[in-house]
């Protein structure tokens, strides 16, 4: 009789405990222990009162848990259904990983913490990411200087080609917009580097010589990145002589030495030519007004013809100094490649200009002929 009472009490206690058990609700994370593993299916013991199942695509998460999980291991999963037709709780590793990732993103967004991501696709507008089903986007305008696709004429095909090279490369970014309901993020590489950029800008001084790498070549100059910063070598600062195409002076990724010649707000002005001797200093010693030179025409413009004197020195024959027939006739007299003799009529080393004249040569010739004629007339008269 006593045994019956004790047994009844124990049974009632067990039944009471069972009635208190509530199946996990969809949308929550639960902890369990792995009891069985198949190729694309995992059974999980949920505290001895329920069994969960993870199957199909729900076994795939960002850390590839299914490839390393073993029986007896503890596991965290997201509840999709409280109970299926087989009486099992339907679970997901994919959604659990997504939930944890969202938590990391929300924390990073709130604290302005930089995170590392990798793009899986690119379009002409920027880089696309998919992290545990969460879509991210890095607009072109938010790329760091080193990765910004600087191309002439905003050529979309060339921009896309540059962006595609960034796929699969770790990028340090900050989240600048988070939409959990829409499952989207907007990321910025520039924002992640802003603090370091400000520090570097504060230390940068005009006159400082630095080494960097070419990050972009456009019609008006060469962009160079160095120490987290980027500056422009304007076409006029590439070389002492005439620069027709900046591409002739380097290619993307080339290491170069440059001189900081100016900084204003976020803009940094650089020079390559000022790190080599100014050939015009020697030119003022070599060339004098009145000297006759011989050279080759290497450029024709509406206002005259340029003649190569040295590797870095060109002289200009203004159209009015080419032909006595006038500017219009003079402009059509010469062409690139012509060999000419001309007289130096002006030198301005500060402005890097040498003025030449063909007319002056003719005038000299005419003056000599006139002098000889007068000499003969004087001899005859005598």
**What pLDDT, on a 0 to 100 scale, did the predictor assign at position 365?**
53
Burial class of residue 214 (count of CB atoms within 10 Å of its CB; 0-12, 13-18, 19+): buried
Q: Is the pLDDT of residue 53 over 50?
A: yes
Distance CA 60, CA 93 (A): 6
Which residues, 6+ apart, have CB-to-CB distance to 6 below 8 Å? none
Q: Which one of 153-157, 266-270, 346-350 scores highest in mean pLDDT? A: 266-270
pLDDT in tens, 115-140: 999 999 999 899 999 988 889 999 99
**What pLDDT, on a 0 to 100 scale, did the predictor assign at position 182?**
86
Q: Do 322 and 254 form a contact (C-beta atoms < 8 A)? A: no
pLDDT in tens, 199-215: 889 899 999 999 999 98
Distance CA 307, CA 305 (A): 7
For each of the domains in the chain, give its residue range(s) and CATH number, in order of start: 28-103 (2.40.50.140), 112-193 (2.40.50.140), 204-275 (2.40.50.140), 279-364 (2.40.50.140)
Q: Is the pLDDT of residue 378 over 70?
A: no
| pLDDT (average), residues 353-357 | 88
Distance CA 344, CA 347 (A): 8
Q: Do 189 and 126 form a contact (C-beta atoms < 8 A)? A: no
Q: Is the pLDDT of residue 92 over 70?
A: yes
Q: Is the pLDDT of residue 97 over 80?
A: yes
User: Which residue matches tokens 């073993």?
Assistant: 70
Percentage of the chain exceeding pLDDT 90: 41
**What pLDDT, on a 0 to 100 scale, did the predictor assign at position 15?**
46
The mean of the pLDDT values for the chain is 84
**What pLDDT, on a 0 to 100 scale, did the predictor assign at position 354?**
87
**What pLDDT, on a 0 to 100 scale, did the predictor assign at position 18?**
47
pTM, two decimals, is: 0.64
Percentage of the chain exceeding pLDDT 70: 87
| pLDDT (average), residues 92-121 | 92
pLDDT in tens, 288-306: 888 898 888 988 888 888 8
Task: Compute CA distances 382 → 248, 335, 377, whole Å.
Answer: 67, 49, 9
| pLDDT (average), residues 157-182 | 92
**What pLDDT, on a 0 to 100 scale, did the predictor assign at position 81?**
93
Q: Which residues pair with 369 in a beta bridge?
A: none
Q: Which residues pair with 353 in a beta bridge?
A: 348
**What pLDDT, on a 0 to 100 scale, did the predictor assign at position 324?**
65
**What pLDDT, on a 0 to 100 scale, did the predictor assign at position 10?**
47
**What pLDDT, on a 0 to 100 scale, did the predictor assign at position 309?**
84
Distance CA 127, CA 173 (A): 12
**What pLDDT, on a 0 to 100 scale, did the predictor assign at position 105?**
94
Q: Is the pLDDT of residue 372 over 70?
A: no
Q: What is the 3-state secondary structure (H, E, C) of the chain?
A: CHHHHHHHHHHHHHHHHHHHCCCCCCCCEEEEEEEEEECCEEEEEECCCEEEEEEHHHHCCCCCHHHCCCCCCEEEEEEEECCCCCCCEEEEHHHHHHHHHHHHHHHHHHHCCCEEECCCEEECCEEEEEECCEEEEEEHHHCCCCCCCCCHHHCHHHHHHHHHCCCCCCEEEEEEEEECCCCEEEEEHHHHHHHHHHHHHHHCCCCCEEEEEEEEEECCEEEEEECCEEEEEEHHHCCCCCCCCHHHHCCCCCEEEEEEEEEECCEEEEECHHHCCCHHHHHHHHCCCCCEEEEEEEEEECCEEEEECCCCCEEEEEHHHCCCCCHHHHHCCCCCCCEEEEEEEEEECCCCEEEEECHHHHHHHHHHHHHHHHHHHHHHHC
**What pLDDT, on a 0 to 100 scale, did the predictor assign at position 4?**
46
Instruction: Lowest mean pLDDT of 176-190, 287-301, 333-347, 356-370, name the range.
Output: 356-370
| pLDDT (average), residues 101-128 | 93
The model's confidence at residue 72, banded by pLDDT at 50, 70 and 90, is very high
The model's confidence at residue 151, banded by pLDDT at 50, 70 and 90, is confident
Strand arrangement, sheet containing 121-123: 115-117, 171-179, 184-188, 134-139, 126-131, 121-123
**What pLDDT, on a 0 to 100 scale, did the predictor assign at position 17?**
47
Cα angle 74-79-84, degrees, rounded to a multiple of 5: 110
Instruction: Lowest mean pLDDT of 21-30, 259-268, 372-381, name the range.
Output: 372-381
Q: Is the pLDDT of residue 250 over 50?
A: yes
Q: Do 132 and 120 form a contact (C-beta atoms < 8 A)? A: no
The model's confidence at residue 363, banded by pLDDT at 50, 70 and 90, is low
Torsion of CA 114, 118, 123, 126, to 10 degrees: 10
User: Which residue matches tokens 């902890």?
Assistant: 31
Q: What are phi and psi of 254, to 5 degrees?
A: -60, 140
**What pLDDT, on a 0 to 100 scale, did the predictor assign at position 37?**
92
């Amino acid at each position: 009789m006593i045994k019956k009472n004790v047994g009844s009490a124990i049974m009632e206690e067990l039944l009471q405990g069972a009635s208190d058990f509530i199946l996990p609700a969809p949308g929550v994370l639960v902890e369990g222990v792995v009891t069985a593993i198949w190729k694309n299916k995992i059974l999980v013991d949920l505290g001895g009162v329920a069994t969960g199942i993870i199957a199909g695509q729900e076994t795939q998460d960002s850390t590839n848990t299914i490839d390393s999980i073993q029986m007896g291991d503890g596991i965290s999963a997201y509840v999709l259904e409280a109970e299926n037709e087989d009486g099992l709780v339907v679970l997901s590793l994919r959604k659990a990983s997504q939930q944890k990732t969202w938590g990391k993103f929300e924390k990073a967004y709130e604290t302005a913490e930089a995170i590392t991501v990798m793009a899986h696709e690119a379009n002409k507008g920027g880089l696309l990411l998919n992290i545990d089903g969460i879509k991210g986007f890095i607009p072109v305008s938010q790329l760091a200087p080193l990765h910004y696709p600087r191309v002439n004429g905003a050529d979309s095909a060339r921009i896309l080609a540059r962006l595609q090279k960034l796929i699969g490369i770790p990028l340090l970014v900050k989240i600048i917009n988070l939409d959990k309901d829409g499952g989207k993020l907007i990321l910025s590489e520039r924002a992640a580097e802003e603090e370091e950029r400000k520090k570097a800008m504060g230390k940068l001084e005009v006159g400082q010589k630095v080494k960097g790498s070419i990050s972009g070549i456009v019609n008006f100059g060469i962009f160079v990145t160095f120490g987290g910063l980027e500056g422009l070598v304007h076409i006029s600062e590439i070389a002492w002589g005439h620069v027709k195409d900046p591409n002739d002076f380097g290619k993307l990724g080339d290491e170069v030495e440059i001189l900081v010649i100016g900084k204003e707000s976020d803009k940094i002005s650089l020079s390559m030519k000022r790190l080599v001797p100014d050939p015009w200093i020697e030119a003022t010693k070599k060339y004098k007004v009145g000297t006759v030179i011989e050279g080759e025409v290497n450029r024709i413009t509406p206002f005259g013809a340029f003649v190569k004197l040295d590797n870095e020195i060109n002289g200009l024959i203004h159209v009015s100094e080419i032909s006595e027939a006038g500017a219009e006739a003079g402009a059509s007299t010469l062409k690139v490649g012509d060999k000419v003799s001309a007289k130096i009529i002006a030198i301005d080393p500060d402005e890097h200009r040498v003025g030449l004249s063909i007319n002056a040569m003719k005038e000299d010739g005419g003056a000599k002929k006139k002098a000889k004629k007068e000499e003969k007339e004087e001899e005859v008269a005598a």
